[in-house]
Chains A and B, each alone.
Chain A
């Protein structure tokens, strides 16, 4: 596996608070990694360190480069969307295309124009006249036309309605992603990106508390709906969490072999959000 991002023991202090507290991350080429964590867990700080936007302590290489010292070189191969509101309001659509086409050697203008043609964005409109969804489309059009090896998305669909959110990820997957591209994405709406991820990383209190490929997730984490008579036996196996809804219990286990759980009830792979609640919510109690 060609490792694009390599972080070991990243620490970032803001005064006495540690936004990152020994954060580890490894991302291979061609993966789509979801970085998921509660507010204030250090998601944005981790991304900023990766993008050379903030100083840090610890070991970090992105595409084999030092993000702070080799930032210009890094930005040739890395793209990011930091927030929906980030395009300046005075910028015109055609100006944005002119600008990126001139400063970015890997920008393919015809690709951006082809994508924009499928939207309702006027060719010379100013950003301030566009809706929030259109601004995100414009930003995505610019970013997707760049042949970048790593794309970093920080809450890219924040504040958008469900139609735009769906369209955003569909476009990303169909028109952008291939074996040579790698995507790192953070979001609150876990359910919406669950099906596109190849890997998931949970971050809490500045540390990675889980880092797993989606393929192997089901081998390590299992959700058990025990038959009533086996509930106590299931609890004795040390679940990460237990939830009750409509009188039904659902227990999530980590690294408990299938043959020990299967006799007790119905087994399934937990959803990312259930697992997140179990792993992070459990630790917070």
Chain B
């Protein structure tokens, strides 16, 4: 109960956790609606006709592939937003309570520093991705609903053209797997941000980024190599490399002739490479490093005298 309340507390303070993906979902839906109105999507000879004819002519596999592209098209914007929200959340999580001195209020209640810091870690790693996931799902359902209206406008059969071939369950399973895999893979980055947040007396974002930039530049000057930068970059995007099969790249690719390269439904879940993720030494090494960062953050919150 206490831990759930600690998680709720984070969403009260950091309203962007819900607001940011909600705004993205709203804007996406508005854009789709605008497109629908402009293309006279609801009339018999409007854009809906192209949809009915286009999808109707396709083989079942191509139809699924097309809908996969349609439904995953909105995902990158959500992911980008999520990364920004997590970044700003994590550097603020253990800093804002010291800046406004409310830490003394929180510390006047019987909640351990361990539980407090873990609730913040959990918010960054799980709550923010899960909230994003819910809004992605909502947007995808709305997309299909709009497509349904268009198909109906052109007197087509929405079930066979849109809903049956839309691989919603597979996409959501894939997305959930991605969020969890990304969370464990990126854990050391989040741990580092939380540590900077617990450490900095001012400008935690600077404390989080400056050591990396200085280290990277020194390495570049001394050895002409970029190991530091590569290490950080791999923690940001490396989850695609370790947690998925290489075909993941084709999920949304369009080749030179405009041919869709999307993977059909039955192969969507085959993209998951769980053994690859679990046997990656980088994963376990990263988790160990993350544990050290988080323990240091807990120690700082507990024992640092705020003067």
Q: A: which residues have CB within 8 A of B?
A: 14, 48, 51, 53-55, 71-73, 75-76, 79-83, 85-92, 95, 98-100, 102-105, 139, 143
Residue among A71, A75, A102 with the highest chain B CB neighbour number at 10 A: A102
Q: Are A90 and B5 in contact (CB under 8 A)?
A: no
Q: Are A92 and B110 in contact (CB under 8 A)?
A: no
Q: Are A100 and B109 in contact (CB under 8 A)?
A: yes
Q: Are A86 and B5 in contact (CB under 8 A)?
A: no
Minimal beta-carbon separation of A183 from chain B (angstroms): 15
**Which of the segments B30-38, B100-108, B142-150, B157-165 contacts the partner chain?**
B100-108
What are 22 contact pairs spanning A and B, CB under 8 A? A51-B108, A53-B104, A53-B306, A55-B305, A72-B112, A73-B110, A75-B107, A75-B109, A79-B108, A83-B104, A86-B101, A87-B102, A88-B13, A88-B96, A88-B100, A90-B12, A90-B13, A98-B8, A99-B5, A103-B109, A103-B111, A104-B109
The 5 closest A-B pairs by CB, nearest first: A88-B102, A82-B104, A75-B110, A102-B5, A54-B305
A88-B13, A92-B12, A95-B12 known; A53 vs B107 contact (CB < 8 Å): yes
Give A26 to B2 CA distance when docked, in angstroms.
Answer: 34
Q: B residues 1-57 with Cβ under 8 Å of A?
A: 1-2, 5-6, 8-9, 12-13
Minimal beta-carbon separation of B213 from chain A (angstroms): 31
Give A105 to B110 CA distance when docked, in angstroms.
Answer: 9
Additional pairs, 13, CB under 8 Å, beyond known A73-B110, A87-B102: A51-B108, A53-B107, A75-B108, A75-B111, A80-B104, A83-B101, A86-B104, A88-B13, A90-B12, A91-B102, A103-B6, A103-B109, A103-B110
Q: Is B303 an interface residue (CB 8 A)?
A: yes
Q: Is B97 an interface residue (CB 8 A)?
A: yes
Minimal beta-carbon separation of B157 from chain A (angstroms): 49
Give A103 to B107 CA distance when docked, in angstroms.
Answer: 12
Give A92 to B108 CA distance when docked, in angstroms.
Answer: 18
Give A49 to B15 CA distance when docked, in angstroms.
Answer: 35
CB closest residue in chain A, given B112: A72
CB closest residue in chain A, given B303: A55
Interface residues contributed by chain B, number (CB under 8 Å) = 25
Q: Are B102 and A76 in contact (CB under 8 A)?
A: no
CB closest residue in chain A, given B97: A88
Give A72 to B97 CA distance when docked, in angstroms.
Answer: 19
Contact of A89 among B6, B100, B108, B109 (CB under 8 A): B100
CB closest residue in chain B, given A92: B12
Q: B residues 249-307 with Cβ under 8 Å of A?
A: 303, 305-307
Contact partners of A55 in chain B: CB under 8 A: 303, 305
Give A90 to B110 CA distance when docked, in angstroms.
Answer: 21
Contact partners of B305 in chain A: CB under 8 A: 48, 53-55
Give A55 to B303 CA distance when docked, in angstroms.
Answer: 7
Contact partners of A105 in chain B: CB under 8 A: 110
Contact partners of B2 in chain A: CB under 8 A: 102-103
Contact partners of B112 in chain A: CB under 8 A: 71-72
Minimal beta-carbon separation of B230 from chain A (angstroms): 39
Minimal beta-carbon separation of B151 from chain A (angstroms): 45
Q: Are A76 and B105 in contact (CB under 8 A)?
A: no
Minimal beta-carbon separation of A235 from chain B (angstroms): 44
Minimal beta-carbon separation of B197 from chain A (angstroms): 16
Give A218 to B305 CA distance when docked, in angstroms.
Answer: 39
Contact partners of B8 in chain A: CB under 8 A: 98
Minimal beta-carbon separation of B14 from chain A (angstroms): 9
Contact of A72 among B5, B100, B111 (CB under 8 A): B111
CB closest residue in chain B, given A87: B105
Contact of B12 among A51, A85, A91, A139 (CB under 8 A): A91
Contact partners of A51 in chain B: CB under 8 A: 107-108
Give A80 to B107 CA distance when docked, in angstroms.
Answer: 9
Contact partners of A102 in chain B: CB under 8 A: 1-2, 5
Q: Are A82 and B108 in contact (CB under 8 A)?
A: yes
Minimal beta-carbon separation of B175 from chain A (angstroms): 31
CB closest residue in chain A, given B12: A95
Contact partners of A54 in chain B: CB under 8 A: 305
Q: B residues 66-119 with Cβ under 8 Å of A?
A: 96-97, 100-102, 104-105, 107-112
CB closest residue in chain B, given A148: B108
Contact partners of A85 in chain B: CB under 8 A: 100-101
CB closest residue in chain B, given A54: B305
Give A104 to B8 CA distance when docked, in angstroms.
Answer: 16
Minimal beta-carbon separation of A178 from chain B (angstroms): 21
Contact partners of A81 in chain B: CB under 8 A: 108
Residue among A79, A82, A89, A95 with the highest chain B CB neighbour number at 10 A: A82
Give A87 to B101 CA distance when docked, in angstroms.
Answer: 8
Contact partners of B307 in chain A: CB under 8 A: 14
